[in-house]
Structure 1
Amino acid sequence: MSENEGRNNLRMPNDDEEFAVVTNMLGANRVKVRCADGTERTARIPGRMQKRIWIREDDVVLVDPWDWQDEKADVTWRYKKQEADQLREEGHIQ
């Protein structure tokens, strides 16, 4: 058995993205997230994700912080529970 058995290749953040954990559901397609850099941001769930991907509290997501307003961001990806556990094991998130 190889040490990478059972490991999935996961989507990693681009240069402008970072990991975040959903802390609160705000309604109107918005969530409160705690980013890896320690900043609390209000994140918007884009239309292409609204009906296809259900986001709940404590989910690990990728966010793209806005350039012009640091306290806001867009959700770009949601990790499943197994994928989030794998990211924690590999030390990418806490």
Structure 2
Amino acid sequence: MSEDEGSRKNLRMPDEDEVFAEVTNMLGANRVNVRCADGTERTARIPGRMQKRIWIREGDIVLVEPWDWQDEKADVTWRYEKADAEQLREEGHLD
């Protein structure tokens, strides 16, 4: 399959209160360490609606929503497939 502009997918982009992040460490108890695009390391919680449906591994690109009252914590809201993460890198959304 050719990698031309016709193969581009419309991907979910972050809302105003979400940031891109990369999973750096699995902590257990439905928590992961993430390195966010704003340069902050956070502990992110995987919500119940995602736990059994979507498997998250180290190195995955996710969207997180930082907590208003505690900046070092966040909730995972979305996980990108590998191909989608590559598309985000090619378009310059990720470092």
d(CA) in 2 for partners of 1:31, 1:69: 16
d(CA) in 2 for partners of 1:68, 1:53: 27
d(CA) in 2 for partners of 1:78, 1:4: 23
Over the aligned positions, Cα root-mean-square deviation in angstroms equals 1.1
d(CA) in 1 for partners of 2:6, 2:26: 35
2:78 counterpart residue number = 77
Deviations 1:39-66 (A, max 9, x none): 0000000000000000000000000000
Deviations 1:52-89 (A, max 9, x none): 00000000000000000000000000000000000000
Q: How far is the alpha carbon of 1:4 from its aligned partner?
A: 2.2
d(CA) in 1 for partners of 2:6, 2:54: 27
Q: Does 1:6 align with 2:15?
A: no
- The list of structure 1 runs, each at least 4 consecutive aligned residues, that deviate by more than 2 angstroms after superposition, is none
**TM-score for both structures, normalised by structure 2:** 0.96
1:67 counterpart residue number = 68
Q: Does 1:24 align with 2:25?
A: yes
1:52 counterpart residue number = 53
**Unpaired segments ≥5 residues, structure 1:** none
Deviations 1:17-41 (A, max 9, x none): 0000000000000000000000000
Task: Report sequence identity in percent.
Answer: 79
Number of positions where the alignment pairs a residue of Structure 1 with one of Structure 2: 93
**TM-score for both structures, normalised by structure 1:** 0.97
**Unpaired segments ≥5 residues, structure 2:** none
d(CA) in 2 for partners of 1:69, 1:37: 15
